[in-house]
Structure 1
């Protein structure tokens, strides 16, 4: 008699999906690549809306290079 497969995705597949998103892939790319669209969306929906902030005052802050480049661009676009 055939045995049913366990429900859900393996822990390894779930970890790989999270790793793909953390490495810069979109949720859609990771979900399509691994076939875990519903699980990945449910996991993302369960995360807190924002990360916790620092406990004390911030002493050093780094500015993103793209912001600096756009803010300091000398020439205008020709298109």
Structure 2
């Protein structure tokens, strides 16, 4: 989607951002955006499962998060996922 940029003291210009951001959070952040512009640009994937200390895999924080090959593989799978089927 092309957006209009209005920098202060400079001419207007249009651009298109192509970025991919993965965030993990415990709740949705608050936005001042009262349009649907933000929601058109993001995909929210809800994870309902909770782990307790006894069943938690400690390797996730200690090993997997540092494994570049694993993280690249996960990203390659997420990029091609069909998110149209997801509902809240």
| Larger RCO (alpha carbons 8 Å, 6+ apart) | 1
Same fold (TM over 0.5): no
Normalised by the length of structure 2, the TM-score is 0.21
- In terms of fraction of residues, the more strand-rich structure is 2
Normalised by the length of structure 1, the TM-score is 0.22
